[in-house]
Structure 1
């Protein structure tokens, strides 16, 4: 299994960067997770739009799904439109982004499925399990397993006991870490810090931790230092171009 980070900014894309966007590959099957702002140009630098086999969206905030629209346009309006793209998301999460074009324009380019906790999904070689995690809008934590390897992804989430189960013995935990150590009080139920992510990775026994969704234009070092207070395993920050094979 291989993870390629296309973008890791939270909220909006800093200059030359992209918001949340992750390509996960195994046995030639490509799953795009969270096509947020500015993700598509980075994806197209290495992968044609028609070569994406499935899309997973954790939640409906545009920094996690806005570039689904240009991805579908690139597939639908090309010379040889590919088969409809399976898109999996929490109920209602994509209503706004899928309504950006005139009715019916992109209808044949995708098939929408609802992610539901306790209802595993088979995508090519991947098994996908979802957890409902606390955020400002419905958010699905995702666990992808293939070839005996596991990637766990939190989406955006506040504190939750379910995070340990989501990340249990994962080969890689991709965890939201908007702030290094302290989440502002008004957002504390809905977002996480790097310190929180390190604690989750340690409790779950995750082999690697990748911190993502850092606030734009902030250096990764404070987040890495905060996570290292709780987690002693392999630790990285999600920057565009980072590739991890496991």
Structure 2
């Protein structure tokens, strides 16, 4: 079984009640932090301390997906009894900017960088991680996490690609970026998705459930839900801070449920 807690799901920059992309994924007591974007570290501390995170996995190097790696590492490095180095998994060069924010060597002992390439398969604790390179403004790895016979597919940020269908094939949950509602502006069309297209990919892949994330700040969640529902017949929800879901399908009462 996997347990997913949404720390935030806002695209581009955080708003008062919604950090940027960040997800705590747990299985067998192992805590994996996926995409620690802007303002996710304060939200994370409602569920776990910095020392209790077992590994970090980052899809790409945009700051709304990785900026809060810095305070997480500071909190581990600057404590009186620093924990063991934190395994941090990312594409080559994706974290160069965020890891350079402090003076050279300050965080050196706080983490171990483990770079992977799109298409790689590897293990993180109880999770098998399958990756696919997906189109974005910078290199972006779509992720499929499998543990205990259940699967979570996550797009990171991506434009249209047949790889998305393969990534999400019969996944228990597809966590898909949906920056726009119905139509992506021409300038972004190769690199971002709409809620409608996220629904189309979920339907084509036979995913059990769809969780929309990375909505542009100010987007009406009900509009995104409606657009996705025109393409996907299964349960759909919008990622928001505090939503908790499990695979196989179960949602905590605090999340208000996944809506058909």
TM-score normalised to structure 2 length = 0.93
Q: Does 1:93 align with 2:94?
A: yes
Of 213-222 and 191-200, deviating more is 213-222
Aligned length: 246
Cα deviation, 1:37-74, whole Å, max 9, x if unaligned, reads 00000001120101111101110000000000000000
User: Within 5 A, what are the aligned runs for 1:140-151?
Assistant: 140-151=141-152
SS state at 2:175 partner: strand
Q: CA deviation at 1:118?
A: 3.0
Distance in 2 (CA, whole Å) between partners of 1:115 and 1:204 is: 25
- Which runs of 5 or more residues in structure 1 are unaligned? none
SS state at 1:236 partner: strand
Distance in 1 (CA, whole Å) between partners of 2:119 and 2:125 is: 19
Contact 2:119/2:133 (<8 A) preserved: no
Q: Which residue of 2 aligns with 1:48?
A: 49
Distance in 1 (CA, whole Å) between partners of 2:206 and 2:117 is: 25
User: Within 5 A, what are the aligned runs for 1:83-162?
Assistant: 83-162=84-163
Q: Which residue of 2 aligns with 1:170?
A: 171
Q: CA deviation at 1:163?
A: 0.3
Q: Which residue of 1 aligns with 2:241?
A: 240
Q: Which residue of 1 aligns with 2:212?
A: 211
Q: CA deviation at 1:116?
A: 1.6
Distance in 2 (CA, whole Å) between partners of 1:34 and 1:83 is: 20
Distance in 2 (CA, whole Å) between partners of 1:193 and 1:221 is: 14
Q: CA deviation at 1:187?
A: 0.3
Contact 2:4/2:245 (<8 A) preserved: yes
Q: CA deviation at 1:24?
A: 0.3
Distance in 2 (CA, whole Å) between partners of 1:187 and 1:14 is: 22
Contact 1:115/1:140 (<8 A) preserved: no
TM-score normalised to structure 1 length = 0.99
Distance in 2 (CA, whole Å) between partners of 1:27 and 1:158 is: 33
Q: Does 1:35 align with 2:36?
A: yes
Distance in 1 (CA, whole Å) between partners of 2:118 and 2:140 is: 11
Cα deviation, 1:174-225, whole Å, max 9, x if unaligned, reads 0000001100100000000001100000010100100000011222011000
Poorly superposed stretches of 4+, deviation over 3 Å: none
SS state at 1:100 partner: coil
